[in-house]
Amino acid sequence: MALLRSIAVVSSSVATIISAMLPFFLYSTISTSYLLMMFFVLLLGAFTIHGVLTHAFNDYMDYLSGTDAYSPAILSGGSRVIQDGIITPPVLWLIGKWLAIALLVTAFVLALFSYYILSFLLVIGVWAAASYSLPPLRLSYRPFLGEWGSLFPSILFLGLAGPWLIVGEIPVWAAQNAVINALFCLAWVMVHHIPDLDADKRAVPAKRTSVVWFADTFGRYYARFPALLYLGAAGLCIIWLGFDRVWATGTLTITISIALFLVLKMDVENHQQVSSYEKILLLLAMITAAALGIFI
């Protein structure tokens, strides 16, 4: 289904889940059947919230503001389900609204039965999807707030979810993996926004992403700076990993170095090149997530 935008979900949400679950499959004595059950529960949650709900809200609001109409639509510009006539705007809104309601009701019921962690994770997911796109917050239309108010907590807690649910606590390695994967995700999302720079500025209201803010404040060359900042932050986590996880440190050093080189090298005016580099960043994010899961 086009609305899911599976490539984006797999390279962010699914990679984050795998990064958190691999150590249990490889190094624990916990039943494989139980681990598989937890993996598929998290996978279902990721595709439901990060795939359907987030994109339903985002596509609907970006359609109303007009930004998707002006997008070059290579990798960016939404799922195109409205533009391609697959789903009408009113139906897309109903999908998002009723799915959000169903998830919140489920969270409430889970809390009644003392499944507080699952309940909390569902609420975080709905919050991230709604706050990112829907008024009055519409954080994706505000510089920095979209990343830190919605995207980062959504990916972070998805990365923490597996260990938290399985062992009832968050090991240091799990926190490290979740933070690094979330920062890498923010970085490629910022690259994802670069081709939509002009489209976002033409939207009503204007979609002032961090990319737009940097370009307006310092010049178009600096549209790459949000991605560089988040890659740099992920790179600083090398200090956190240190020599305790030397292979993870080595892999992260390589993937971050390649990512930084590509973002510095790319021509922000060349939408095809930016989108090609984004695909490489998605691959690097998945390699990083897998390595962090293997080398703990």
pLDDT at residue 270 greater than cutoff 90: yes
The pLDDT value given to residue 69: 85
Region 199-224: what's the mean pLDDT? Answer: 96
Mean pLDDT computed over every residue of the chain: 94
Residues 255-265: tens digit of each pLDDT: 999 999 999 99
Q: For residues 267 and 247, what is the distance between their CA atoms, to the nearest angstrom? A: 33
Instruction: Name the band, by pLDDT with cuts 50, 70 and 90, for residue 225.
Output: very high
What Rg value do the Cα atoms of the chain yield, rounded? Answer: 19
Peptide bond into 136 cis (omega under 30): yes
Tokens of 106: 């489920």
pLDDT at residue 250 greater than cutoff 70: yes
Residues 104-118: tens digit of each pLDDT: 999 999 999 999 999
Region 120-141: what's the mean pLDDT? Answer: 96
- Are residues 81 and 57 in contact, defined by beta-carbon separation less than 8 angstroms? no
H-helix segments, 71-115: 89-112
Which DSSP helix (H) or strand (E) runs through 288? Answer: helix 271-294
Instruction: Name the band, by pLDDT with cuts 50, 70 and 90, for residue 4.
Output: low
Q: For residues 112 and 108, what is the distance between their CA atoms, to the nearest angstrom? A: 6
Closest by CA to 62, choosing from 185, 224, 196, is 196
The pLDDT value given to residue 38: 96
Residues 153-205: tens digit of each pLDDT: 999 999 999 999 999 999 999 999 999 999 999 999 999 999 999 999 999 99
The pLDDT value given to residue 10: 76
Closest by CA to 224, choosing from 261, 256, 263, is 263
Burial of 181 (0-12, 13-18, 19+ CB in 10 A): buried
The pLDDT value given to residue 253: 97
Q: Which amino acid is at 161?
A: A
Region 63-92: what's the mean pLDDT? Answer: 84
The pLDDT value given to residue 77: 66
Tokens of 279: 């695909």
Q: How far is CA 18 from CA 1, 160, 170, 179, in A?
A: 22, 11, 16, 14
The pLDDT value given to residue 237: 97
pLDDT at residue 236 greater than cutoff 80: yes
Region 4-27: what's the mean pLDDT? Answer: 89
Region 120-146: what's the mean pLDDT? Answer: 96
